[in-house]
Structure 1
Amino acid sequence: MTMSHDNKLENMLRESYSLSTRAPEWRKAFHLGTRLTFKKGTVICMGGEKSDLLYFIEKGEVRLMRTLADGREKIIFYLQTGALVGETPFFDKLPSLSSIVAGTNCVLYAFNRETVIQDILPNHPLLTLSLLQSLSCKVRMLSNQSVELSLKELPARICRFLHMRIPTDTSGQLDRWVHPALNQQELASLLGVHRVTLNKALRELEKEGILGPYSKNEVCILDRGRLEALSRSLDE
């Protein structure tokens, strides 16, 4: 069975900011890990520190964030339920340049170095495969972000982000209301622009009748066709 055009587009839209590859197989290894809970805003792994833990997100959303020398923060991408996080500092044994922060109240399972190296990797091939898939997906996300930051227009990148956040109702139809869950400062950080620049682009999309006013809680998609066309333009 071939993937439909809509599903292909949806996958492409999710490959810049949100991890599309899940690793549910790791739930079978919970007995090898430690269950941890974090409140929204808690730093799970601080940038500049080494980490001997690999995490699986059982519930909630976490953000990978970088703090610049002048104090500004940049959201690199976010990861949701079913994803792995923390692979880079775990395997290269160097201090992490980015922080892992709980974007919502979270439940994570942490696996220590000895367990992963001596038990999981040698004895659980499906977990090893899912780990490689997770790393590959993150390389793809960072590559896409690099291209978009240097070559693509901001309104199109805003439309891509909002499109991937449109919820699906029980009939399988996409709703016209989006719940971004990021305020303008956080969205500007994710897209790599100044908040004033983001605000100007949002106003342009409002004037063109594509979006209603932006808020963290909800945005109305006024012209679904044009929003999807702008999102698709990033892949041309």
Structure 2
Amino acid sequence: MALSRQNQSFRIPCQQCPLREITHLRDFTADELEFVSRFKKGELVVEAGSTILVEGAHSAHLFTMLSGWAFRYKTLEDGRRQILNYLMPGDLVGLQGSIMGEMQHSVEALSPVILCVFERERLLTLYNLHPSLAFDITWIAAQEERILDEHLLSIGRRNALERAAYLIAFIFERGRRLELFDERRFIPLTQQHIADTLGLSIVHTNKTLKKLSSKGLLRWQERGCEILDPEGLLEVAGWTGLGEGKRPFV
């Protein structure tokens, strides 16, 4: 990992975790909270642009995003990058490495990130003693698969304008449910991130985003974009959104 530091002594107690205050996230029972507070070993602070996990690496830890934005990606031998999905508070990081032994993708911080650190070796204890939390981890993995299905459909069948609208609407919907936005509704993505997610050239991406801007749906700025009309993005994408309901976290 680059430009990161682990903090074992100063950390936010699980009982005071800000994620528990988010309506969209399912809170723990008393027994679950006690276990998770012992399961957590510290916090990892990562600077924007730093690598959190590297494809092919073995990690002794599993993480939960406490704050910030990140993304998962894979690269070809010549350096071309495909962004797979975006990570926000409450998301698990490194579950694939915990189950399969090594990471099949890399993870990079989009913004300054704080991660809760858990020991991978204790994951089996969680499955043995807390089936409700084990089900939550299974639910999170299944939800990730469902999201990737939707992304693949978008890349395979939507045109460039619809793809871009869907991606930005998807990220906005997730961020809105996690209460990440103020009135400005700013997403910290560059046009290169959009291009690497959609599989488009940077020139094609720029032209596509200008069309969305001309429709008054967003305002592109340095290091990100401001969402002006979320409903309009959904309409262009032909997507109905994520739906409501609580989701678990660990």
TM-score surpassing 0.5?
yes
Whether 1:54 and 2:46 are equivalent positions in the alignment is: no
Which residue in the other structure is 2:161 paired with? Answer: 155
Which structure 1 residue ranges, 5 or more long, are not aligned?
A: 1-20, 169-173
Instruction: Please provide the CA RMSD for this pair.
Output: 2.8
| Preserved contact between residue 53 and residue 86 of structure 1 (Cα < 8 Å) | yes
SS of the residue corresponding to residue 121 of structure 2 reads helix
Match for 2:207 among 172, 177, 200?
200
Asked if 1:123 is matched to 2:123, the reply is: no
Match of 2:73 among 65, 69, 89: 65
Distance 1:27 1:199, change over 3 A: farther
In 2 relative to 1, CA 72–27 (structure 1 residues): closer, same or farther, beyond 3 Å? farther
Q: Which of residues 91, 111, 115 is equivalent to 2:118?
A: 111
Q: Does 1:90 align with 2:98?
A: yes
List alignment gaps of at least 5 residues for structure 2: 1-23, 177-181, 242-250
The alignment-based identity, stated in percent, is 22
When the two structures are superposed, what TM-score results if normalisation uses the length of structure 1?
Answer: 0.74
Among candidates 27, 35, 40, match of residue 33 of structure 1: 40
Distance verdict in 2 for CA 1:39–1:220, change over 3 Å: closer
**Deviations 1:95-154 (Å, cap 9, x if unpaired)?**
32311222222221222232111x211111221111011100111111111111111112
Equivalent runs, 1:201-220 vs 2, <5 Å: 201-207=208-214, 209-211=215-217, 213-215=219-221, 216-219=223-226
Contact 1:155 1:201 in 2 (8 A): yes
1:203 Cα offset (Å): 2.7
What is the CA–CA distance in structure 2 between the aligned matches of 1:187 and 1:140, rounded to whole Å?
20
* 3-state SS in 2 of match to 1:187: helix
